[in-house]
């Protein structure tokens, strides 16, 4: 049942990512599938983070019209790294989560642009280095600010995850 809820959440994020940037210009700097990937990666399950990232990334590539697999690779790697780090360090503090979202957003932008450059393909909104810096900053800021209400909603939709986090912390420190 949990996997179905996560899958539906990722699909809803992909649907909103497809629709919202067409109607609200500032949403082109917000990547909802990445934010959902970070949220589920913080649940301390590297496999869940990795699979959520893969689903969100490939879905983003399909709806975005880019090279299929570039976003999938980037989000899979980000999901796995965040989940692995969250097992070692407690990242339940809201400020820590904002920092993780900012780092994930910057890393995702750098990975995607880097992979496109390696494949000798052009990418939207990234022409010169100054334009790349502006895009990197705006995407990082947009994702970080958008994660606040999205994490709040997801915490309400997945209350069972907070109990699982407490148990993981208890096992890590008291066993």
3-class secondary structure, 67: coil
Contact criterion met (CB below 8 Å) for 121 and 67: yes
Structure-token pair, residue 147: 């994660």
Whole-number Å distance between alpha carbons of 11 and 55 = 9
CATH number for 101: 1.10.1760
Please identify which residue in the block is written with the tokens 């280095």: 129
Structural domain tally of the chain?
1
Asked whether residue 24 is domain-assigned, the answer is no
Asked whether residue 131 is domain-assigned, the answer is yes
Asked whether residue 57 is domain-assigned, the answer is yes
How does DSSP assign 77-113, residue by residue? HHHHHHHHHHHHS---SHHHHHHHHHHHHHHHHHHHH
Long-range CB contact pairs, 143-149, < 8 A, 24+? 143/29, 143/30, 143/31, 143/34, 143/35, 143/101, 143/102, 143/104, 143/105, 144/98, 144/101, 144/102, 144/105, 146/30, 146/32, 146/35, 147/35, 147/38, 147/39, 147/97, 147/98, 147/101, 148/98
Asked whether residue 25 is domain-assigned, the answer is no
Is the overall model pTM greater than 0.85, yes or no?
yes
Burial annotation 62-82 (CB, 10 A radius, 16+ → b, else e): eebebeeebbbbbbbbbbbbb
**Residue 121: its pLDDT value, please?**
80
CB-based contacts of 121, cutoff 8 Å, min separation 6: 67
Q: Each residue's pLDDT tens digit in the chain (175 positions)?
A: 788 999 999 999 999 999 999 999 889 999 999 999 999 999 878 899 999 999 999 999 999 888 899 999 999 999 999 999 998 888 888 899 999 999 999 999 999 988 888 888 877 656 666 788 888 999 999 999 999 999 999 999 888 755 555 555 555 554 4
For residue 151, the enclosing domain spans 2-19+30-174
């Amino acid at each position: 049942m949990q996997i179905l809820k996560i899958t539906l959440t990722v699909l809803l994020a992909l649907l909103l990512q497809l629709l919202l940037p067409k109607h609200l210009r500032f949403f082109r700097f917000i990547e909802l599938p990445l934010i959902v990937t970070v949220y589920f990666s913080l649940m301390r399950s590297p496999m869940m983070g990795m699979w959520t990232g893969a689903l969100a990334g490939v879905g983003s590539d399909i709806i975005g019209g880019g090279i299929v697999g570039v976003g999938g690779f980037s989000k899979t790697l980000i999901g796995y790294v965040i989940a692995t780090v969250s097992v070692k360090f407690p990242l339940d503090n809201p400020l820590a989560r904002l920092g993780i979202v900012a780092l994930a957003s910057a890393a995702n932008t750098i990975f995607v642009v880097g992979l496109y450059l390696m494949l000798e393909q052009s990418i939207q909104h990234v022409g010169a280095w100054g334009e790349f810096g502006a895009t990197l900053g705006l995407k990082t800021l947009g994702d970080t600010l958008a994660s606040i209400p999205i994490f709040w909603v997801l915490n309400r939709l997945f209350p069972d995850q907070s109990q699982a986090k407490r148990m993981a912390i208890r096992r890590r420190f008291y066993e």
